[in-house]
Amino acid sequence: MPVSRINLSADGPEVSRIAFGAWRLADVRLAGKAILDLVQTCLESGITTVDHADIYGGYQCQRLFGEALAGHRTLRDQLQLITKCGIKLVSPRRPENRSHSYDTGRAHILASVETSLQEVATDRFDLLLIHRPDPFMDPDEVAAAFVALKKDGKVLHFGVSNFMPGQFDLLASRLPFPLVTNQLQFSVLSSSPLYDGTFDQCQQRRILPMAWSPMAGGQLFRSPEPAAQRVRTALRLVAEEIGAASPEQVALAWILAHPAKIVPVLGTCQASRLRLLAAAETLKISREQWFAILAASTGAEVP
């Protein structure tokens, strides 16, 4: 059964309940037909939302994605494309960058989006995120860039990534339209958003958060650390109880079960794993099972 669809906010974009993250395309050396086949697998599974950033793969992933889809323009209208900007890396592909830094100035945001549009070979992004909080951010500069991009139809919606509530509120206070999401690091092994106010703020504002690295970058099933071992045991137990095909499915179902309606961004480039994880939406975890997995992660029952 294909994954369902959901709106990130009342006025936000409709996205697939699970998104595909393109940050590993260059790392696993996918290109051309292999990327196209992966996109087709996503679409067959109902995963229509693709998460990019200008810096992914050392400024290569967006170009690889755009080249792969170049001869298949009709696919663009089946996808919701997300990109991020604001981080500057020292790279031969960006010789003008003299240091690893942040830049959320109006000129940089506009230039970054123009480059990303060209690389992905699209006339618009459905969603643009500021990649990380910038300690030198001028919220009025960011707002001016967002307004210009929206007016020109180059970006339809806007959000942030890795922002704390105060940082989110500061930027939101300068905009004539609402931010529609905050993309945060979240998994069974990285549960800070449950406690630091970020998920609370999303629920308060009735916007849906997104979760990057929902499998803890693979550490969930590779790490020898005690927390990972405890979680693996708990996931296997719940998988047996609910008839899940794998503990991985349970780890994703645990995220999907949260009332904040978190949209996880999968980083795998394996078609078989995409199909497996897409089926996690059909799993139902009880409240007690959810807390048992949380306790395995923290190493203690709730107070």
What is the CATH number for 260?
3.20.20.100
Comparing C-alpha atoms, which of 77, 81, 67, 66 is closest to residue 15? 81
Would you call 249 helix, strand, or coil by DSSP?
helix
Predicted confidence (pLDDT) at residue 31 exceeds the cutoff of 80: no
Q: 121 in a domain, yes or no?
A: yes
Phi, psi of 235 (to 5 degrees): -65, -40
Among residues 56, 59, 102, 195, which one is catalytic? 56
Q: 20 in a domain, yes or no?
A: yes
Q: Supply the pLDDT for residue 273.
A: 94
Comparing C-alpha atoms, which of 206, 179, 118 is closest to residue 154? 118
Q: 105 in a domain, yes or no?
A: yes
pLDDT in tens, 70-103: 988 889 999 999 999 999 999 999 999 999 999 9
In angstroms, the first-to-last Cα distance of the chain is 38
Q: 4 in a domain, yes or no?
A: no
Q: 186 in a domain, yes or no?
A: yes
Comparing C-alpha atoms, which of 165, 175, 136, 161 is closest to residue 51? 161
Would you call 149 helix, strand, or coil by DSSP?
helix
> The domain containing residue 37 runs over which residues?
14-223+255-283
pLDDT in tens, 251-290: 999 999 999 999 999 999 999 999 999 999 999 999 999 9
Q: 2 in a domain, yes or no?
A: no
Query: Rounded to whole angstroms, how far apart are CA atoms 23 and 38?
Result: 13
Predicted confidence (pLDDT) at residue 243 exceeds the cutoff of 90: yes
Is 56 an annotated catalytic residue? yes
Instruction: Give 27's pLDDT tier (boundaries 50, 70, 90).
Output: confident
Q: 297 in a domain, yes or no?
A: no
Q: Supply the pLDDT for residue 32.
A: 85
DSSP annotation string for 87-112: EE--BTTBTT--SSEE--SHHHHHHH
Tell me how many domains the chain contains.
1
Q: Supply the pLDDT for residue 182.
A: 98
Q: 40 in a domain, yes or no?
A: yes
Instruction: Give 33's pLDDT tier (boundaries 50, 70, 90).
Output: confident
High-pLDDT (> 90) share of the chain, %: 94
Q: Supply the pLDDT for residue 287.
A: 98
Query: Rounded to whole angstroms, how far apart are CA atoms 65 and 62?
Result: 5
